[in-house]
Amino acid sequence: MAGASIINDRLSALRKREASLRSSIQVELERERKRQARQRDRLVSVVGSVLIDEASRSQNVRTILSQILTTAVVDAKSRRLLSNMGYL
């Protein structure tokens, strides 16, 4: 019976290790998800800034941007903002 106890102890230790590894994996996945979200937010900020600056300098860019926004933005509140700012 001592052999069964040793096996049970090993299995218990392995299960604890497995749970710890699963937890560590979840922490890393969440960390990566947050990193990607920050990176996307930064990209949106940079691209948006450039487009707004270019639209203020070029009527062609403003027209193209307006055409894109007209079809892409469906939220009423966002459309009001864009209209008030002269983009729709």
C-beta separation of 69 from 47 below 8 A: no
Which domain covers residue 32, as residue numbers? Answer: 1-42
Asked if the structure places residue 76 within a domain, the reply is no
Asked if the structure places residue 15 within a domain, the reply is yes
Asked if the structure places residue 4 within a domain, the reply is yes
What are the tens digits of pLDDT across the range 26-85? Answer: 999 999 999 999 999 999 999 999 999 999 999 999 999 999 999 999 999 999 999 999
Q: Which pTM was predicted?
A: 0.68
What are the tens digits of pLDDT across the range 3-30? Answer: 788 899 999 999 999 999 999 999 999 9
Report the domain count for the chain: 1
Asked if the structure places residue 20 within a domain, the reply is yes
pLDDT (0 to 100) of residue 2:
67
Structure-token pair, residue 26: 């979840």
Asked if the structure places residue 54 within a domain, the reply is no
C-beta separation of 60 from 54 below 8 A: no
Write the CB contacts of 73 (distance below 8 Å, at least 6 apart in sequence): 79, 82, 88
Asked if the structure places residue 27 within a domain, the reply is yes
The DSSP result for 56-87, as a single string, is HH-HHHHHHHHHHHHHH---HHHHHHHHHTT-
Asked if the structure places residue 88 within a domain, the reply is no
pLDDT (0 to 100) of residue 26:
98
